[in-house]
Amino acid sequence: MVKQLSRRFFIGTALGALSTGAWAEAPSVSLRPVVRPKGLQTGAAPKADALIKTASLGGQVEFAVMDVKTGVLLESRGAAAGLPPASVIKTVTALYALDSLGADYRFATRLIATGPLEDGVLKGDLVLAGGGDPTLDTNALAQMASDLKEAGVREVRGAFKVWGGAVPYERVIDPTQPEHVSYNPSVSGLNLNFNRVHFEWKRGGDGYDVSMDARSDRYRPAVTVARMVVAGRKAPVYTYSDGGDHDAWTVARGALGASGSRWLPVRKPEAYAAEVFAGFARAHGITLNLGGSLRSAPQGLALTTHQSGPLRDILRNMLKYSNNLTAELVGLTATAARGGKAVALATSAKEMSRWARSELGMQGANLVDHSGLSEQSRLNAGAMARALVRVHGDKQLQPILKDIPLRNSAGGINRDHPVKVMAKTGTLYFVSSLAGYMTAPDGTELAFAIFCANTEKRAGINRRAGGRPPGAANWNRRAKSLQQALIERWGLVYGV
């Protein structure tokens, strides 16, 4: 069932100044006098252009800051075409999902019997059917196996199959990313452990002992659907190939120390979940014959169902940890709920863009995914700030945003800073964004968006080299320092 947010979510009499025409003519300088609240620097506030010049980021810097009560644009800088917003897109995805699914929506993963269960014997197939749950983990599959036994199943005469068609399969979220990064996994309607597999190595004898498992805080089931070979080379660190029934990885011996571990992406998520579940079922005396994936939704009786936590909590964690797979899955599920059918990721992103332009007034929004991982998305800082003002009254987004602590001159967290920020960060190499709400020392609340991008430097990245490109870390630090400086300027100028 599609739930709609209240009309107040989209329309408020205080937002009359936010029409397209008023936005185009809005002033780009302060509408209020400069003040000097206690706890912030004294003297006139530094000009925004001076702060940007000092940061020396090159490329483009766009920002907008607005009063949430009046909807007045206080300052802005940037073109209508916008910049790559990176993970700030996840705030739009969160709003899209809340509007389409409702805050209490829960994802369901089911074990379906396609035949009758008689005297503990299932005379038909058993199907593990995913519902697009981004939080399904090894612990949940272990519990489902236990529940299957409690349901009275001792034997399955048919095959054990899986179905992930609730969300169309995507091999990767963004094809331009390195193959081995865990933040760019495959997408499916059946996902496990954020579609990551744990790779661990230890030096032993003449070589290395390696393992691949689907670990959680309780279990460490080994898997064969992802396999690793140590290769006698120094670079590249990782290679990947499709092994047919498994992900075939190699790692450079020269890159390994005495021991270590990391998470790698899973490219066969349905087979991954099937292998792990079958292992838990076997531990309960239920032997399953793996039968592959179904193309169409299974019909039959659900013997047990695992439900996720409420969408509100899932979105809070998505915004806190910036998990890309979660963003894609909630966005895809939201589009399916709105249109009545599952669609490909790119198509879903277009639908979310259309919704953002129509319902949030985000003119020019052109998003190619729901996570911000692609550099091809474009969003205008002014449109982002305007959307934040529009949704402020419903108090659905702000409580699930992350507390962003500001820092002192030494780089440490300043927990006594008089300006408080609740926002979403976004980071790609040579792209840094921040958008959300700030509260000035006197309690004045502002909505803001800051987008920084040096697309020329980003275009020069050697994507085959892997690792962080030269200069990216320093550029990112300067971008974050600029964002704090702008926020402190606004607290000083508008905290009246």
**Residue 137 confidence (pLDDT) above 80:** yes
Any idea where the domains of the chain sit in the sequence?
Answer: 7-103+311-494, 108-168+271-307, 193-269
pLDDT tens digits, one per residue of 431-453: 999 999 999 999 999 999 999 99
Residue 326 has pLDDT above 90, yes or no: yes
Decide if pLDDT at 162 tops 50: yes
Percent share of the chain, pLDDT over 70: 91
- Residue 60, pLDDT above cutoff 50: yes
What pLDDT, on the 0 to 100 scale, is given for residue 461?
Answer: 86
Model pLDDT, residue 37: 41
Q: Can you tell me the mean pLDDT for 224-236?
A: 95
> 21-56 pLDDT, tens per residue?
222 223 333 333 333 344 444 447 899 999 999 999
Distance CA 3, CA 352 (A): 16
Q: Residue 205: pLDDT band by 50, 70, 90 thresholds?
A: confident
User: Above 50 in pLDDT, residue 102?
Assistant: yes
Q: Residue 274 and residue 269: Cα distance in Å, rounded?
A: 9
Residue 34: the pLDDT is 36
Looking at the predicted structure, is the pLDDT value of residue 215 above 70?
yes
User: Tokens at residue 470, please?
Assistant: 């030269």
**Domain 7-103+311-494 in this protein, CATH class:** alpha beta
- Rounded distance between C-alpha atoms, residue 409 and residue 335, angstroms: 45
Beta strands in 53-206 (DSSP E): 60-67, 73-77, 108-113, 117-118, 121-122, 126-129, 155-156, 160-163, 196-204
| AA letter at 295 | R
pLDDT bucket at 174, cuts 50 / 70 / 90: very high
The Cα–Cα gap between 301 and 308 comes to 20
Domains 7-103+311-494 and 108-168+271-307 are alike in CATH topology? no
- Report the pLDDT averaged over residues 116-125: 97
- Are residues 30 and 493 in contact, defined by beta-carbon separation less than 8 angstroms? yes
How high is the pLDDT of residue 4? 36
Average pLDDT, the chain: 90
**What average pLDDT does the segment 274-281 reach?**
98
On whether the CB atoms of residues 151 and 186 are closer than 8 A, the answer is no
| CA 198 vs CA 193, 259, 276, 366, 461: distances in Å | 10, 14, 13, 35, 28
CB of 27 within 8 A of CB of 73? yes
Contact 197, 213 (CB under 8 A): yes
pLDDT at position 200 is 98
pLDDT of residue 410: 87
Confirm if 414 and 426 have CB atoms less than 8 A apart.
no
Q: Mind listing the pLDDT tens digit for each residue in 374-427?
A: 999 999 999 999 999 999 999 999 999 999 999 998 889 999 999 999 999 999
pLDDT at 496: 62
Predicted local distance difference test score (pLDDT) of residue 495: 86
Q: What are phi and psi of 140, to 5 degrees?
A: -65, -40
pLDDT of 20? 27
278-307 mean pLDDT: 97
Superfamily of domain 108-168+271-307: D-Ala-D-Ala carboxypeptidase C, peptidase S13 (3.50.80.20)
The answer to whether the beta carbons of residues 410 and 421 sit under 8 Å apart is no
pLDDT over threshold 80, residue 106: yes
Whole-structure pTM value: 0.90
Mean pLDDT of all residues in 167-182: 96
